[in-house]
Chains A and B, each alone.
Chain A
């Protein structure tokens, strides 16, 4: 809206008349504005009068006004607002109000400031009245913003802090770079859009860069600590260049390594299979991230298991990130803001899983106007609504998705599919409220439910429930804190009703409550500290079998509940040693305590744990300690700039994990059980050392990076042959304590901009496990290292985008990966009249290699700024070559004869046409 006004300013240049007297004839109004942003006043005045305001938004985004007026005209109000300020206004015959700035302040500047920053001297040029509007035409922000009070401090530096927001929706812009180029100092905004940067006093051109936003600058004259809120304009066109541009600075200049950030625009470019933008599918295109096959939502990061990824959804843990057997991820892409995946160098504020952290954040609702969106596809339908609760203060965003796949299954002719059922839904609610400039509150809730029945009579259902409340308080320019409370719950039910004698319900449930406090302290230009505390209380019902119906003979069977407390304290320091070297040191201390009530089996010392070696049972009363574990987790990173465009990074991190998933399948299955550490199941400990080399070519359009890592995993769980995981009262007798190691290297070449852009990555990685128990039954493959289920040594990913013009673009995605390991039968034999198989050592063979090509063509609608809705078409073909990639290979005895089969999920090219529009 305001963007268009800027253009209007230019159009109306010729017919400008400055008539203040005109306004005197207008009706009088009353307003009361205590300490409000100027924008707010404008909105109010525009609502109450026929006046329309035109101004450069950048020049007023930090302007806060206090005005109380009753029965005054607009010009009287403006007189009061701008009294003693540098702002001037003018009103023309159309009741258009133009707000501009007077220049005299420039004459007071010390002359040495001009020589220091060449670029800003342009903007400090004294100009006549006519040139003001030429400036606006350039959209460039040429105003000099004075921050702080002159002469109030003698320190050489001062800090600027504030929020970077989306001008249109008022949402915070996350991960935007706020930087000056000479000397090079930069910070990124946090998840609330907040930044704090310490700069030498004087004039600077502060540049603000973010994906999908128009680049903008602010010229500041910094006297002492102060605030600067910045509004960025959305880039109307989904230009790939913008996305990568922000990335490219970060990859070389940022201290963080092994961090991948994907925003929703990047996700939308990746060709899709089911017409739904899926964040997990997007994450899988990144080097070092793999999955065991299609239709699995679990993913493996750098040789870690699927349960070793901390998946956070607005700070709360998600235990099952999938819908409909993994065809869809649990996250409604329409509501997401961005996704960050940490593969190494994980900062101290994160803990609890050893492989990676995937931080998914949703958008805030639009604080300025109401909006709705929805979608419908043959499989899913969804709706979202957002809008202000109190304008510019608080907003809500509510969204839901559901399927009608049940209905589709009923229409199919296949007898097997007709008797199947599958459905899911999820609901999101986000509320954000700005109490005042120092206090913000965020509330978020999420619930998902899945239900399916495959051919048989057993039905499965599972549900995620998540809620979080976050209070953010700014103590001072340099110090802020966030207090978070959240709840995560995951449960599933398996039920069978067909035979009344055997009818049962089997349920599983895990719940966690977390409280945490995180603080950020921008100590000075060299040090940024963050520290905090966190505690999680877990409560698990690992399995309850109950009969259903009066005829059922099923004996109720209830596994004992598990309770535990996981607490942690951390501190981290980002230390900019000099322009070439920066360091991060973090320490997290985590502590885990199981407590009763619980009965614990005691096994005979020195014998393998087995039902036959149970010698005693010890009862623990409510709250009594069973066992404790814990320890320090060191996190270190360093970045060294070799040349201006080349850097070297190294990081080491130790992670501890106190809750593990027990799974006998290769992918996440709905029946997998999460299990807390206890006296027998030791917590996982992961250590990772990684080094990386990053280079941007001189033109910055080609980026090369190499990262190598070595990982050790202790107390990894593996299973005895034929382990029974469901309703097992003594799971410790069926699991084996293993060690894992993983190593690899990731190479990536990225062309960031131009008509042709994209990336090519190659990953070499190994993931190996060794299980050497004290006895033969506790040893696998004679205690030698063997490949894990998700060991895929070679992986190649190619994403290419070519833009024909502003409206037509095409994307290609090519994926290649080594087949995952399997255990193959070596020989057959006949037993009781039927052929049976003798299997090889575990994971000694591989399924055929994986190869897939996807292609999509995007057609944008016209690019008028103002129209009812922005629309685009997307045509895509998933698995273009129709290759039947093996999901698994198995051998089965059909009528007594053993035959090998290959199961593929997508056997054909899957074309999809999608129509998008946005309003």
Chain B
């Protein structure tokens, strides 16, 4: 039996957006987002779950009574500084374990399990490596000689400077039709983004509690982030093994699903319980400890120049308007620069572009240089 397949089209797996059918409406459950930092002021945020399809703002849980409690039963209350945000000022923590307790305004009682205070070792370094023709890989390194095994979670905050497509040197006043020299900066901006994914790692399978070159973030070489200067602030939490499992499960539930051999999602609730109604889920995980953080900068001078940058301004174009036409100049445009006269001093007209292409703040950045900026 001989068989020759002459034509064969490669299959391609495909992923389409999916909108689930109407789900049974469930009540809004309490969500506790809180970390008690033993070295700093801490904020515990109480919110409610919301339906998948809604775009409404998060419902904040106000008017609750929130306290932490040590094994001896000593309570320290948190105060509601703003809606849903319960604050604990800096203070000394003498006990080894604490629990978080909540009584909501509808008199439901919730409590977390007692969790130990886990202090994070310092971050040894945050370093980066150039992957030729691809981009920049950022790593974190840490170690802890006091504990044989470590469980870590990281978050980071990236800040980078960028510029709008065109630097505007003139301002047009639509009511007076007058042109004046621009004095404010709308060309240089700084923007900040926070990590969304769960980044965790344990050294349980290693003989020493060392995290070496753990990849935190990869940036494409053509990303706008690397055009001028980029900075990343890495925050490290040391967590308990139970907390590690919780975050690992969260990660599996929301980030690792859908691959061919992906695990099945499961209902997970964290370390809180509703004391009034044990069947009612309450979400979130209570941690107590300290954090350590480190910031690094990467400047374009340290990198080879890529063929182009994805600036987000790729559609921008310049137009020109002659002096005599300025009277009719209107709409959402901003003047960029003057067109010099070829015969004498002065300008015969101006170039212009859309506000979006000229004003960098329209893309969410701020024009004031952050304090930490070098």
Binding site for B on A (CB under 8 A): 273-275, 295, 325, 334, 373-379, 384, 408, 499, 501-502, 545, 553-555, 557, 664-667, 669-671, 721-722, 789, 823-834, 836-842, 845, 869, 884, 886-893, 895-896, 898-908, 910-919
Q: With a 10 A CB-CB cut-off, give which of B1, B11, B14 has the most chain A CB atoms.
A: B1
Q: Name the segment of B182-190, B260-268, B332-340, B360-368 touching the other chain.
A: B260-268
Residues A838 and B49 in contact, CB atoms below 8 Å apart = yes
Tell me whether A888 and B196 are in contact (CB under 8 A): no
Contact of A553 with B208 at beta-carbon distance under 8 Å, contacts A902-B16, A910-B9 already known: yes
Q: Is the CB of A555 within 8 A of B5?
A: no
Tell whether A830 pairs with B263 under 8 Å between CB atoms, given A845-B20, A892-B254, A912-B7. Answer: no
Measured between beta carbons, the chain B residues less than 8 angstroms from A721 are 249, 266-268
B250: which A residues are within 8 A, CB to CB? Answer: 831, 836
- In the complex, B115 has a CB within 8 A of chain A: no
B7 touches A913 (CB 8 A): yes
Residue of B whose beta carbon sits closest to that of A372: B2
| A553-B208, A555-B206, A884-B14 known; A915-B6 Cβ under 8 A | yes
Whether A827 lies near B2 (C-beta < 8 A) is no
CB nearest neighbor in B for A383: B2
Task: Specify which chain A residues have a CB less than 8 angstroms from the CB of B213 in the assembled complex.
Answer: 499, 501
A914 with B9, Cβ < 8 A, contacts A839-B267, A892-B255 known: no
Question: Using a Cβ–Cβ cut-off of 8 Å, how many residues does chain B contribute to the interface with A?
Answer: 70
Interface pairs (17), CB distance under 8 Å: A275-B5, A275-B8, A375-B3, A377-B8, A378-B5, A667-B260, A838-B283, A841-B267, A890-B265, A901-B18, A904-B16, A910-B9, A910-B11, A911-B7, A912-B7, A913-B7, A915-B5
Contact across chains for A375 and B2 when beta carbons are under 8 A apart: yes
B145 close to A (CB within 8 Å): no
Bound Cα distance from A789 to B265, whole angstroms: 12
Whether the Cβ atoms of B248 and A912 lie closer than 8 Å is no
- Chain A's closest residue to B279 (CB) is A782
Residue of A at shortest CB range from B134? A415
In the complex, the answer to whether B16 meets A827 with C-beta atoms within 8 Å is no
Is there an interface contact between B1 and A373, defined as CB atoms closer than 8 Å?
A: yes
Interface: B180 (CB within 8 A): no
Contact, CB under 8 Å: B196 / A896? yes
Pair B31/A829 contact, Cβ less than 8 Å = yes
Residues in A whose Cβ lies below 8 Å from that of B14: 884, 903-904, 907
- Whether A905 contacts B13 by the Cβ 8 Å rule is yes
Q: Chain A nearest CB: distance from B260 CB in Å?
A: 6
| Chain B residue contacts of A557, Cβ below 8 A | 205
Flag if A913 contacts B6 (CB, 8 Å). Answer: yes
Indicate if the CB atoms of A903 and B258 lie closer than 8 Å.
yes
Sorted from nearest, which 10 A-B pairs have the closest CB atoms?
A721-B266, A377-B5, A890-B258, A907-B14, A275-B5, A375-B3, A896-B196, A902-B18, A890-B257, A669-B261
Question: Are A373 and B8 closer than 8 Å at their CB atoms?
Answer: no
Q: Judging by beta carbons under 8 Å apart, are A836 and B196 in contact?
A: no
A-contacting residues, B314-351, CB 8 Å: none
- A837 CB contacts on chain B under 8 angstroms: 52, 253-254, 265
Is B15 within 8 A of A912, CB to CB?
no
The stretch that binds A, out of B21-29, B75-83, B106-114, B120-128, is B21-29
Which listed residue, B1, B15, B29, B33, touches A827 by the CB 8 Å rule?
B29
Partner of B267 from the list A832, A838, A895 (CB cut-off 8 Å) is: A838
Q: Tell which of A378, A830, A845, A888 touches B262, judged by Cβ atoms closer than 8 Å.
A: A888
Judge whether B8 and A827 touch: CB under 8 Å.
no
| Interfacial chain A residues near B195, Cβ < 8 Å | 833
Q: Are B207 and A555 in contact (CB under 8 A)?
A: yes
A839 close to B5 (CB less than 8 A)? no
Contacting residues, chain B, for A886 (C-beta < 8 A): 18
What's the least CB distance linking A501 to chain B, in Å? Answer: 4
Given A824-B23, A911-B7, 19 extra CB contacts under 8 A: A669-B261, A722-B268, A827-B26, A827-B28, A827-B49, A829-B49, A831-B284, A836-B253, A837-B253, A891-B254, A891-B257, A896-B196, A898-B52, A898-B254, A902-B15, A903-B13, A905-B13, A914-B3, A917-B2
Q: Are A893 and B51 in contact (CB under 8 A)?
A: no
Cβ contacts under 8 Å, B207 to chain A: 553, 555
Of the residues B10, B17, B29, contact of A901 by C-beta under 8 Å: B17
Q: How far is the CB of A773 from chain B (nearest CB, A)?
A: 15
Looking across the interface, which residue of chain B has its beta carbon closest to that of A375? B3
A558, chain B: closest CB distance, angstroms: 12
Chain B nearest CB from A540 CB (Å) reads: 21
Q: Which of A334, A375, A827, A919 has most B Cβ within 10 Å?
A: A827
Q: Is B4 located at the chain interface by the 8 A CB criterion?
A: yes
CB–CB B15/A553 < 8 A: no
- Cα-based distance from A349 to B273 in the complex (angstroms): 53
Q: Counting CB contacts under 8 A, is B181 at the interface?
A: no
* Distance, CA A910 to CA B14, complexed state (A): 14
Q: Per a CB cutoff under 8 Å, which of B19, B28, B50, B266 touches A722?
A: B266
- Tell me the residues in window 233-262 of chain B with beta carbons closer than 8 Å to chain A beta carbons: 245, 248-250, 252-255, 257-258, 260-262
A824 — which chain B residues lie within 8 A by C-beta? Answer: 20, 23
